[in-house]
């Protein structure tokens, strides 16, 4: 359900398409996550959405930033000098290995050798890719990420008094609920590491926009497992997905071989999320249009791209007319920043921010 404040703002936007971010809602959500996590440190995974206005809101609630490139590092250190940064990501360049950090998440024995060779001080978490079952995940991070037990053992011999082992880092999967994440944490915290970053990947359900990951249960579960260790998490999607909206207008309605379509200004080159995740983006149609159109029947929402892949949502039962306003929810993470903006050279959306 889109609240009246957001709906009202969406209807007043001067141009379409546009992104609308609800900053007070983000502030409230991040504060609740912070409270629920107790002594567990909270970093934000910047790759989910690096928008500076969102980061300014999050900065009041997070302990630091997880960045995965030199570009993200430059972005957050210029915005928030002095805030802790954890530097991760596969394939770090020599220049990236030289960046200042609170922690660096080392992905392989060779990367650790190259880090030692810089001659700089470094505080390392080894990124482990453990052989743990992760059922029901949207995306598991097996494959090239991090290292197995052999790789980690090889690393142990490479540390020096300048390059220090601080603990473990893992990011096992995305789309896990609190119970699954606590189970994985229990298996990981078996070892004798004093510091563990448990990653992100908290579930976000696009099919049920009003449900939320159970932060209270996760916080309590980790508190029970902590036993004097320093724990950290680094969610992305579950922090910012809910505060973003993509607002546009219906430019055409039509029926082709029985199927009703609403063609919208813009497209998935602005909001790639439904295509990459293979879901229907949650949508609300506001009757601001005129004329005739499908009434209470399954409608497929498409954009202006000349490709059959440009689909936001399929067979949503609704009434829709040319000129109606269409609001997509859950467009605050892995949305604009993962999209192929320049494809077809349509105008870019405007960005608007609801303030408190």
Ligand X SMILES: *Cc1c(COP(=O)(O)O)cnc(C)c1O
Given the rule CB under 6 A, which of 157-165, 193-201, 246-254, 335-343 is the region that contacts ligand X?
193-201
Do the beta carbons of residue 129 and residue 146 sit within 8 Å?
yes
Asked if residue 66 binds ligand X (CB under 6 A), the reply is: yes
Given the rule CB under 6 A, which of 93-101, 232-240, 253-261, 281-289 is the region that contacts ligand X?
232-240
Return d(Cα 210, Cα 229) in angstroms, integer. 34
Asked if residue 236 binds ligand X (CB under 6 A), the reply is: yes
Name the active-site residue from 157, 208, 256, 306: 306
- The alpha carbon of 54 is separated from its chain's Cα centroid by a whole number of angstroms, namely 12
Asked if residue 130 binds ligand X (CB under 6 A), the reply is: no
Return d(Cα 65, Cα 54) in angstroms, integer. 13
Asked if residue 332 binds ligand X (CB under 6 A), the reply is: no
Given the rule CB under 6 A, which of 18-26, 44-52, 56-64, 243-251 is the region that contacts ligand X?
44-52
Active site residue 155: no
- Longest CA span, the chain: 74
Asked if residue 48 binds ligand X (CB under 6 A), the reply is: yes
Closest to 103 measured CA to CA, from 115, 87, 92: 87
Asked if residue 243 binds ligand X (CB under 6 A), the reply is: no
Asked if residue 199 binds ligand X (CB under 6 A), the reply is: yes
- Burial readout 291-329 (b: 16 or more C-beta within 10 A, e: otherwise): eebbeeeebbbbbbbeeeebbbbeebebebbbebbbbbb
Asked if residue 45 binds ligand X (CB under 6 A), the reply is: yes
- Min dist. Cβ of residue 239 to ligand X (A): 8
Name the residue nearer to ligand X (CB basis): 125 or 275: 125
Structure tokens at 72: 């993200």
Q: With the CA atoms of 113, 114, 119 and 121 taken in that order, what torsion angle do they form, in degrees rounded to the nearest 10? A: -80
Asked if residue 92 binds ligand X (CB under 6 A), the reply is: no
Name the residue nearer to ligand X (CB basis): 200 or 219: 200
Return d(Cα 234, Cα 43) in angstroms, integer. 5
Name the residue nearer to ligand X (CB basis): 163 or 202: 202
Name the residue nearer to ligand X (CB basis): 66 or 310: 66
Structure tokens at 338: 């993962």
Name the residue nearer to ligand X (CB basis): 69 or 284: 69
Asked if residue 200 binds ligand X (CB under 6 A), the reply is: yes
Asked if residue 238 binds ligand X (CB under 6 A), the reply is: yes
Asked if residue 171 binds ligand X (CB under 6 A), the reply is: yes
Given the rule CB under 6 A, which of 57-65, 91-99, 197-205, 258-266 is the region that contacts ligand X?
197-205
- Min dist. Cβ of residue 161 to ligand X (A): 27
- Min dist. Cβ of residue 218 to ligand X (A): 12
- Rounded to 10 deg, the angle between the 178-188 and 215-226 helix axes is 20
- Min dist. Cβ of residue 199 to ligand X (A): 5
Closest to 225 measured CA to CA, from 251, 176, 191: 191
Return d(Cα 235, Cα 228) in angstroms, integer. 22
Return d(Cα 187, Cα 32) in angstroms, integer. 27
- Give pairs for 109-113: CB < 8 Å, separation 24+: 109/147, 109/151, 109/154, 109/155, 109/158, 112/155, 112/158, 112/159, 112/163, 113/158
Question: How far is the CA of 88 from the CAs of 66, 93, 258, 333, in angstroms?
Answer: 7, 11, 49, 19
Using CB under 6 A as the binding criterion, the count of chain residues that bind ligand X stands at 16
- Min dist. Cβ of residue 187 to ligand X (A): 18
Asked if residue 51 binds ligand X (CB under 6 A), the reply is: no
Q: Which residues are catalytic?
A: 306
Binding site for ligand X (CB under 6 A): 45, 47-48, 66, 88, 171, 174, 199-202, 234-238
């Amino acid at each position: 359900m889109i609240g009246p404040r957001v709906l009202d703002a969406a209807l007043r936007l001067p141009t379409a398409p546009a992104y609308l971010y609800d900053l007070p809602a983000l502030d409230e959500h991040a504060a609740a996550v912070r409270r629920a996590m107790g002594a567990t440190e909270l970093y934000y995974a910047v790759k989910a959405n690096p928008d500076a206005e969102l980061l300014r809101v999050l900065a009041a609630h997070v302990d630091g930033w997880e960045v995965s490139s030199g570009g993200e590092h430059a972005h957050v250190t210029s915005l928030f000098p002095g805030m802790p940064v954890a530097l991760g990501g596969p394939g770090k360049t020599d220049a990236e290995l030289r960046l200042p950090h609170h922690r660096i998440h080392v992905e392989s024995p060779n990367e650790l050798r190259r880090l030692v060779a810089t001659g700089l001080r470094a505080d390392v978490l080894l990124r482990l890719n453990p052989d743990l079952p992760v059922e029901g995940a949207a995306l598991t991070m097996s494959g090239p990420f991090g290292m197995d037990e052999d790789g980690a053992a090889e690393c142990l011999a490479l540390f020096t008094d300048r390059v220090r082992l601080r603990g473990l880092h893992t990011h096992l999967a995305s789309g896990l609920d609190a119970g699954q994440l606590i189970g994985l944490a229990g298996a990981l915290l078996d070892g004798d590491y004093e510091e563990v970053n448990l990653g992100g990947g908290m579930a976000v359900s696009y099919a049920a926009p009003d449900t939320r990951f159970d932060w209270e249960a996760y916080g309590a579960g980790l508190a029970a497992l902590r036993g004097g260790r320093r724990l950290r998490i680094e969610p992305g999607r579950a922090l910012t997905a809910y505060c973003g909206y993509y607002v546009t207008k219906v430019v055409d309605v039509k029926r082709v071989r029985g199927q009703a379509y609403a063609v919208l200004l813009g497209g998935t080159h602005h909001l790639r999320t439904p295509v990459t995740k293979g879901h229907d983006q949650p949508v609300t149609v506001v009757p601001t249009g005129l004329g005739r159109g499908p009434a209470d029947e399954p409608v497929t929402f498409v954009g202006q791209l000349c490709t059959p892949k440009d689909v936001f949502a399929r067979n949503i039962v609704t009434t829709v007319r040319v000129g109606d306003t269409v609001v997509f929810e859950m467009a605050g993470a892995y949305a604009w920043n993962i999209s192929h903006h320049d494809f077809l050279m349509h105008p870019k959306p405007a960005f608007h921010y609801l303030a408190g």
